[in-house]
Amino acid sequence: MVSALAAFYKKILVGHVEAGLRTYDNDKPFPEEVNRRFISVMASYHFAPTHRAITFLLAEGIPQKSIFLTGNTVIDALLSTLNRIREENYAPKTVSFLPEGDRHKLILVTAHRRESFGKPLKEICEALKAIVKEHRDVHIIYPVHLNPNVSGTVYSLLSDQERVHLTPPLNYKDLCYLMRRSYLILTDSGGIQEEAPSLGKPVLVMRQTTERPEAVEAGVAKLVGTDPEVIINATQTLLEDKIEYHKMARQSNPFGDGKAAERIVNILLGRPYEAFKPEVPS
């Protein structure tokens, strides 16, 4: 947002990737919601990931001629990284302690949002403790954000829990490996809500609202908030009910197809481009 403002003051054109993501709740996500809306006022190019994002931009008075449906570059990064992992037969040393085989179900957890600090994060941790206690075949891996508001709470509540593996933050390659290997994902992250559907991994979103509702509408993600009982019940359903699991474990690309960056370059250079056509699960 500050970079966009500085460019605007210098009369340098601004292009906004992920343009049009909205919850219309200034506190959720904080501060991204307001930052994105500020940038939209200053940007000359709006690279929208989805049709819904375009609808929001038009409703805010953004000229249609400056809006382009490109998909999101995060899917470019995901697909490129997964190709490297396959080509290199890559397995990160950071997770070498995890068991092999189909008898174990890996749940990847990321939780670090500012609105989760305090009681909500404590409730998330209590839910994770209950899940591993109830399901002996489950391993949880949780890369812990360095912010002391996160790490202090998480390590104090989970560091002594059997089959809960707390790690430092992971590089993107290692995170992609874990997303691909996981059985399901619990997260309050924005990006993972886009990446996991491309991998066919069910996502339980530990937030009250999301600026990426396309995954929820497609049935590959579900909002569960931070109430421990809701998180536990939703997770147990996916662990125990194969029919419900397979309803959500459907590969879908509502956010990108790996060509967003190419489209953006073509648009900036005035070249022809083919707009992104979102896929939805059948």
Cα 146 from Cα 137, distance rounded (Å) = 29
pLDDT of residue 104: 82
Question: Is 87 part of a structural domain of the chain?
Answer: no
Is residue 265 within 8 A of residue 272, CB to CB? The reply is no
Phi, psi of 245 (to 5 degrees): -60, -50
Question: What is the residue range of 65's domain?
Answer: 2-69
Q: Are residues 116 and 20 in the same domain?
A: no
Across 88-116, average pLDDT: 83
Joined tokens for residue 15: 């292009």
Q: How many CA atoms lie within 13 A of 105 on its CB side?
A: 19
Question: Is 133 part of a structural domain of the chain?
Answer: yes
Q: Are residues 58 and 106 in the same domain?
A: no
Question: Is 268 part of a structural domain of the chain?
Answer: no
pLDDT of residue 278: 85
Question: Is 185 part of a structural domain of the chain?
Answer: yes
Joined tokens for residue 207: 């937030």
Q: Are residues 108 and 34 in the same domain?
A: no
Instruction: Cite the beta strand spans of 132-243 per DSSP E.
Output: 138-143, 164-167, 184-187, 203-205, 221-223
pTM: 0.89
Edge-first strand order for the sheet with 203-205 is 164-167, 138-143, 105-110, 184-187, 203-205, 221-223
Q: Are residues 133 and 200 in the same domain?
A: yes
Question: Is 9 part of a structural domain of the chain?
Answer: yes
Cα 209 from Cα 226, distance rounded (Å) = 11
Question: Is 275 part of a structural domain of the chain?
Answer: no
Q: Are residues 242 and 106 in the same domain?
A: yes
- Give the tens place of pLDDT for each residue, 149-206: 999 999 999 999 999 999 999 999 999 999 999 999 999 988 899 999 889 999 999 9
Q: What percent of the chain has pLDDT over 70?
A: 97
